[in-house]
Structure 1
C-alpha cells in the first residue's frame, strides 16, 4: 500500500522550490498543478470516508460518488486560483489545464506505485484515458465558467449547471469502463474525443 502523502511530498517540494525562479503564467500553471495534486489527495480522503460510512462497494463509489466529489473539488480549486490570480479567460483555462494535469499525474503515480509493475498497455490506458479525462472535464468546466463570466450569471444555479457537465462526463466514463467489453473501449476513447472537440472549439474561436 503506497503512502500517498509521501508521493505528494516528493513531487510537490521540487515544484514549490521552482517558485523562486519563475514568474507570471509559469508560476500560475505550477500553482494550479500543485493544487490539482492536493485536490486529488483530499478527494480520495473524502471518497474513502463516505465509502466506509455508507457501505458502498468500491465499484459503486467509483461510479456514483467519485465523479461528484472529484469534480466539486476541482471547481473549488479553480475558484481558489481565480481568487488568487484573477479571472481573465486565459487564466481560467490555464488553471483548468494545470489542475487537471496535477490531479491526473498524482492519481496515476499512486496507482503505479501501489500496483507494482504493470503492463505497458494498462499504463497507456491510464495515461491516454484516465489522465486525459481529468483535463477534458476541467477544460469543459473552464469554458462554462467563462460563459458565466461573459453573461454575468455567476451565481449558484449557474455554477451548479456548469458543474453538471464534468460530473456527467466523469460518471459516464467510470460507468462505461466498469465492465470489460465494447462499452469499456468506448469509455477509453471518450476522453480523447472530448479533448479533440474542445481543442477544435478553441481553434474555431481564434479564427
Structure 2
C-alpha cells in the first residue's frame, strides 16, 4: 500500500499548488478532482479493511466490496457540497463528474503501476472504459439528485436507490473486465457506448 500513498503525493502535489494559485471559480474544479483522488485512496483503505474482516479473496473483493465502497465514497464529497453550500443543480452535476475524473485517474495510474503499461491498446481500453464507467455511475447518481433533491420525502430513499443502481453497474463492470482480454474489451466498450449515448442525447437536458 505504501507505493499507492507515494503515487498519491506525486499526483496531488501539483493539484494542491494549482488550488493555491487559481482564481476562485477555477479552484473549485481542482478541489473536486483532488477529492476524487483522495476518495480512491480512502476507498482502498476501507475495502482492504472489510476484505480482511470478512476474509474475502481479491476476486470477491473486486466484485462485491469495492463497487459499494467506491460509489459511496465518491458521493460523500457531493453530499457535503449539497448540504453546506446548497449549489445549483448544474454545479452539483459538474462536481460529481470532476470527482469521478479524479477517482478514475488515480485508479488508472495505480493499475498501470502494478500491472504495467506495455500494451498501448489495453491501456487505452482500460483508461477510457474505467473513466466512462466511473463518470456514468456519477451521472446516475446526479440524475437522482436532479430529480429528487427538491422533494424531502423522496430525497434519502430515492438517492439511495440511484446510488444502488450505480453500485450494481460498477459491480457488473468489474465482473466482466476481470475475465479474458476479449471480455475486458467488451466490458470496457459497454460504459463507453452508454456514456456516448448520454452525451449525444441527454447531457444538454440536465
In structure 1, the partner of 2:178 is 178
**1: distance between equivalents of 2:181 and 2:127?**
20
TM-score, L = length of structure 1: 0.89
**2: distance between equivalents of 1:83 and 1:175?**
34
Change (3 A) 1:184 1:17: closer
Structure-to-structure mapping, 1:113-128, within 5 angstroms = 113-128=113-128
1:201 equivalent to 2:202? Answer yes
8 Å CA contact retained: 1:141, 1:162: yes
Partner of 1:168, secondary structure, is helix
In structure 2, the partner of 1:41 is 41
1:9 equivalent to 2:35? Answer no
Shifted more, 54-63 versus 32-41: the winner is: 54-63
Runs of 5+ consecutive residues of structure 1 not aligned to the other structure: none
Matched residues, number: 205
8 Å CA contact retained: 1:32, 1:81: no
**1: distance between equivalents of 2:178 and 2:162?**
25
Shifted more, 183-192 versus 9-18: the winner is: 183-192
Once the two structures are superposed, what CA deviation does each residue of 1:163-201 show, in whole Å capped at 9, x if it has no partner?
112112101111222222765443111111221232220
**2: distance between equivalents of 1:202 and 1:122?**
28
Per the TM alignment, residue 115 of structure 1 is displaced from its structure 2 partner at its CA by: 2.7
In structure 2, the partner of 1:143 is 143
Per the TM alignment, residue 152 of structure 1 is displaced from its structure 2 partner at its CA by: 4.2
